[in-house]
Amino acid sequence: MFSAQACIQHIIPKTRPDFSREGSAFAPVNIALIKYWGKRDTELNLPVTDSLSIGLRTLGTRTRIRWTEGEDNISLNGELLPSDNAFVKRTRQYLHYFRPNPSLGFIIDTHNDVPTGAGLASSASGYAALVLALNDLCQWQLNKTQLSILARIGSGSASRSLWNGLVHWHAGTQADGMDSYATPITHQLPSLRVGLLTLSRKTKPISSRLGMQQTVHGLSLYPAWKPMVEQHLSRLQTAIAAQDIAQIGAISEHNALSMHATMLSASPALCYFLPETIATLQTLWQARSEGLACWATLDAGPNVKLLFDAHEEAAVTACFPKVSIVQPFG
Ligand code: PMV
């Protein structure tokens, strides 16, 4: 077993705090088309399978960071958070890996464009922006592979939030995780649209971290997940190369619902859906049976993301008037 501390120290150069500097960065939210669900190492966030995502370009996290001689001081969306806040506790624990001495702290000001902890991938853009801002503050000049590994130790899906567009996170096989990082995919899908349906802004009752453990160890259908992901990934790569949005949507929806099926089959069962989630899926399936070319994907939360081609934009908006549409490729 390798510790997160040892892996991080192996990557970052010796850090000399410069109190006059400020680091800043932006990282986009990413939505997985092939999901990451289940870890082979919980400390290093090493996944059981590869995953593949799309960045939301303009939606993400902006973070500014400075050194302080005192305690960490963390603001989220303009509000200074108390030290017993769950977000602060988790961020501070991660920041411990980067302090050249334990008495040094960080002043962090971070803004999320999407609700925090509601299954809208805020932790992915959050940890990616934090790592990029640290790299800027400390002038490490790390490459994207190294930054992806550091972000992954904060939150697995953050390894994919260092790029826009399509991104592939390679599970890797090494115990130290040095081969578990993301790389960008050169294919572009200019006509792909992602529609966000925010059905609830509440923090999810069970974090993805605990949800994954409950599924992997909960006597569930989980053993079927790995071979299924391998098959979905290979079919998705073919569909991406062919720019086939209908296939991309269909494979992504099947993958997301298969992930939720493994959670439902755990003991105790895990369900992130709300009644509104089911109602939305039923509206979508009914509309699709009447010709709407639109598919859904869902993460560890009740909110739904739609995948469709630009020419369906008016029809999707007519069906889901509250949808917020993103153009991932500008
Ligand atoms: O990186 P985490 O621990 O927030 O887990 C993300 C899990 C999913 O969002 C459900 C899937 C994914 O690949 O993003």
113: pLDDT confidence band, cut at 50, 70 and 90?
confident
Q: Which of 51, 33, 28 is nearest to 299 (CA)?
A: 33
Which atom in ligand 1 lies closest to the alpha carbon of residue 123?
A: 4
Higher-confidence residue of 122 and 307: namely 307
Residue with tokens 């411990």: 96
7: pLDDT confidence band, cut at 50, 70 and 90?
very high
Identify the pLDDT of residue 93: 95
Cα-to-centroid distance, 223 and ligand 1 (Å):
18
**pLDDT reading at 201 higher than 90:** no
Identify the pLDDT of residue 208: 87
Query: If you take atom 8 of ligand 1, which residue's CA is the nearest one?
Result: 299
CB 194 within 8 Å of CB 307: yes
Query: Taking residues 74-95, what's their average pLDDT?
Result: 94
pLDDT tens for 207-251 read: 888 999 988 887 789 999 999 999 999 999 999 999 999 999 999
Which atom in ligand 1 lies closest to the alpha carbon of residue 31?
A: 14
The structure's pTM equals 0.96
Among 31, 35, 150, 236, name the best residue to mutate to test ligand 1's pocket (greatest count of ligand atoms within 8 A of Cβ). Answer: 35
**pLDDT reading at 199 higher than 90:** yes
Among 30, 31, 33, 36, name the best residue to mutate to test ligand 1's pocket (greatest count of ligand atoms within 8 A of Cβ). Answer: 36
**pLDDT reading at 116 higher than 80:** no
Among 153, 157, 304, name the best residue to mutate to test ligand 1's pocket (greatest count of ligand atoms within 8 A of Cβ). Answer: 157
